[in-house]
Amino acid sequence: MTKYWISSETSIEIDSAEDNNVVHFSVDDKDVIVSNGQTIYEALQRQSGIGNIPALCYHPSVRPYGACRLCTVEVSEDGGKNFRFVASCLYPVKEGLVVKTNTERVRNLRKGIIELLLARCPNTKVLQELADEYGVEKPRFALGDHDCILCGLCVRACQEIIGKSAISLVNRGIYKEVAAPFYAYELGEECIGCGDCAFICPTGAIKMGENGKPELPRVKIPYAEIGAMASAAEG
């Protein structure tokens, strides 16, 4: 008989659990059974209290993206001999997989990510709460004044749930931002005012305006883009 955990407080004993549609693996030294075809994060969302995995860029209504990397865990496919980091929202469950969600290495990695996000968005409540949980007192980097963590949830919700592309992630690197087409400060006719982007935003960076449409964070257009637009206007 093997004890399989279905929540942090409840387990069942099964003599034989051979089934092609389920996967047996361990999470923080607890044996669990889940349906095949899920990611680690998805599976553990259904196993109440098992595993300790934060995430900001995940929502069950859209495809996983792996932007924030806060859901990183350690996994081993050789019975626990060798471990490596993976993003649990993208990594599928596998037979015999060993998962560690709260080791010192995992916590240190998450702490570094939280520090970077908090430096970008120091006044965001959800990041302040994570900072308290992981012991980040003050970022070592220059503080920004953003609310958006660039998780892309709003963009994916608009595209995948609503079937529109009223907003998108523009530019690269330090210039990456969420914006309306052509850097417009107000959303155009493509936006139907459903509010899905504001609802799904984990930091509250997008709010609904008085005109019934979302208000996006103000974008800062890179100098190269300004020059290109000016040249096009002159031509």
16 has a pLDDT exceeding 70 = no
| Residue 210, pLDDT score | 87
> Which residue did the predictor score with more confidence, 188 or 88?
88
| Residue 9, pLDDT score | 72
Lowest mean pLDDT among 6-20, 82-96, 119-133: 6-20
Q: What is the sign, positive or negative, of the torsion defined by CA atoms of 75, 17, 13, 9?
A: positive
Cα–Cα distance measured from residue 139 to residue 137, given in angstroms and rounded to the nearest whole number: 7
Q: Which secondary structure element, helix H or strand E, spans residue 142, and what is its range?
A: none
Model confidence at 195, pLDDT cuts 50, 70, 90, reads very high
**What six digits make up the tokens of 44?**
């553990």
| Residue 32, pLDDT score | 93
64-71 contacts, C-beta under 8 A, 24 or more apart: 64/39, 64/89, 64/90, 65/89, 65/151, 65/152, 65/153, 65/156, 66/90, 67/150, 67/151, 67/152, 68/113, 68/117, 68/149, 68/151, 69/113, 70/110, 70/113, 70/114, 70/130, 71/41
User: pLDDT tens for residues 117-154?
Assistant: 999 999 999 999 999 999 998 899 989 899 999 999 99
| Residue 180, pLDDT score | 85
Is 153-224 a CATH 3.40.47.10 domain? Answer: no
Average of per-residue pLDDT across 47-60? 93
- Phi/psi at 121 (5° precision): -130, 70
Write out the E strands in 114-195.
168-170, 177-179
Average of per-residue pLDDT across 59-71? 95
- Phi/psi at 88 (5° precision): -65, -20
Lowest mean pLDDT among 5-19, 34-48, 160-174, 187-201: 5-19
Complete DSSP assignment for 87-123: ETTTSBP-TT-EEESS-HHHHHHHHHHHHHHHHH-TT
Q: What is the sign, positive or negative, of the torsion defined by CA atoms of 71, 76, 81, 82?
A: negative
Count CB neighbours of 48 within 10 A: 11
Kindly list the domain boundaries of the chain, sorted by start residue.
2-53+73-100, 153-224
Cα–Cα distance measured from residue 207 to residue 193, given in angstroms and rounded to the nearest whole number: 11
Mean of all residue pLDDT scores within the chain = 88
Write out the E strands in the chain.
2-5, 11-14, 22-27, 30-35, 72-76, 84-87, 98-100, 168-170, 177-179, 207-208, 214-215
| Residue 173, pLDDT score | 81
Q: Are 151 and 121 in contact (CB under 8 A)?
A: no
Whats the size of the chain, residue-wise? Answer: 235
Model confidence at 7, pLDDT cuts 50, 70, 90, reads confident
| Residue 42, pLDDT score | 94
Model confidence at 221, pLDDT cuts 50, 70, 90, reads low
- 116 CB contacts (<8 Å, ≥6 apart)? 139, 141
Average of per-residue pLDDT across 195-224? 84
